[in-house]
Amino acid sequence: MNGQSESQGWSQPESLASVGSGSVDFACYGVRTDSPLPQGTRRSPAPSVGDFTPTDGMLEELQFRLEIKKLEMEERRLETKKEERLESRRIKAEMEGQKEIELRKFELKKEAEKEERLESRKIKAEMEAQKEIELRKFELEKEAELRRERVEAMRLEHEKEEADKKRRFELEKTRIEVNSPHRVRGQGIVEKAVESQMVRSLKLIPEFDESKVTEWFRRFEKKAYEFDWPQERWVGLVANMLKGKALEVYDRMLVEDLNEYEEFKADIRRAYELRPEAYCLQFRSGKKRSGDSYLECARYLKESFEKWVASEQATTYHELKELMVMEQFVNVAERELVPLLREKRFKSLKEAATWADDHVLAHKGVSQQGSVGEHRDSGARWQDGRALQGRPAIAWG
């Protein structure tokens, strides 16, 4: 077999491992390949066309070469595909890395902006807190100053009232003793005894209370009837007990105004009459005090309600209904409208509501903020226009 191969110029490949470098020209078969010859194989001159007859070994070798060529092409294709996949992964990894970098930059930028906002809010809050502290400190200083001024004014007023009270007591005592119209000859000793008894009895009358004028007059009249004091003396006795605004009213009275006790009492009480809002506040804030019976509490609430209704001149069911609904309407109104509604004193609920709507529309878009420390005025006023400070004193029957 080997001799036959050598005589024809071909050598049979022993195994796939023996494939070396070189190329074989199979032009005579109609096929050309550059596949390397097996190692140790000698290339023989190609036989001529006329006497060439391919052998089985040559066909097998040709088939072997074709298979190797296919394997090499497949290997190159796989390597190319692998390189493409690697390149694709590299590009994808680079894109993801770039995207991650951009995302991280965006997050860092957002964090920086957030920190700046927080720092700005912190600085603003510190400034507002400092401003609030300064305002509060200023308010406390002003309150302390006003408190000192009020205490000093009250002390001076008290000293003045005591001096006026003592002076008027002496004057009235002298007037009663000297100018009594009922003094007649033969009754001087009796009259002096009566006058002396009345002067001593004045100590049994409670001190005049400006917050409970009606109740004070009621107590005085009970004592006057109890001691059987002549009614023509009542004006002089009451005058000795007056103080504050009542004493000022008494000073402005004419002599003829002191002849009738009921008119004198009405003038004094009129000076202490509250605005309707104050009577309403007294009624709404009334409570049962410890030590008082429920009957006394009910009596006080009834009297407060009657004073409120009377000050509003509500005499019919319709007027009373308007009064009650108007009060609730004012309570639910916006803060800045409350003092205006109370100042306007509308006669009907419809009129008040129409005015409120017009006012809101006219001031729409305008921000009205109250100053720090501003307190809401209850609207309660004395008749001379002074604000009723704090909770009104509650008088119990």
pLDDT means over runs of 10, the chain (397 residues):
42 40 44 52 53 79 93 94 94 93 93 92 92 88 84 80 68 56 46 58 76 84 85 87 88 86 86 76 84 87 86 86 90 89 86 91 63 45 49 40
**Which residue type is seen at 123?**
I
Angle between helices 261-271 and 234-241 (to 10 degrees): 30
DSSP letter at 386?
-
pLDDT at 70: 94
3-class secondary-structure state, position 289 = coil
Give 363's DSSP letter: T
Q: Residue 196, Cβ neighbours under 10 Å: how many?
A: 13
User: Which residues does 219 contact at the CB level (< 8 Å), separation at least 6?
Assistant: 205, 206
Query: What is the C-alpha to C-alpha distance for residues 137 and 159, in angstroms, rounded to an integer?
Result: 33
The Cα 157–Cα 238 span in angstroms is 20
Residue 173 buriedness (CB in 10 A; 0-12 / 13-18 / 19+): middle
Cα 266 to its chain centre, rounded Å, is: 48
CA distance 22 to 20: 7
CB 379 within 8 A of CB 339: yes
Q: What is the pTM of this model?
A: 0.34
> What pLDDT shows up at residue 37?
53
- Residue 211 to residue 235: CA distance in whole angstroms: 20
Residue type, 245: K
In angstroms, the CA 275 to CA 383 distance is 6
The domains located in the chain, with CATH, are 2-81 (no CATH), 180-271 (no CATH), 276-362 (1.10.4020.10)
Q: Is 161 exposed, middle or buried (0-12, 13-18, 19+ CB in 10 A)?
A: middle
Q: What is the pLDDT of residue 396?
A: 41
> Which pLDDT does position 190 carry in this prediction?
46
Residue 244, number of CB atoms within 10 A of its CB:
16
Phi-psi group of 12: left, alpha or beta (phi > 0 → left; psi -120 to 50 → alpha; rest → beta) = beta
Task: Tell me phi and psi for residue 377, to 5 degrees.
Answer: -75, 130
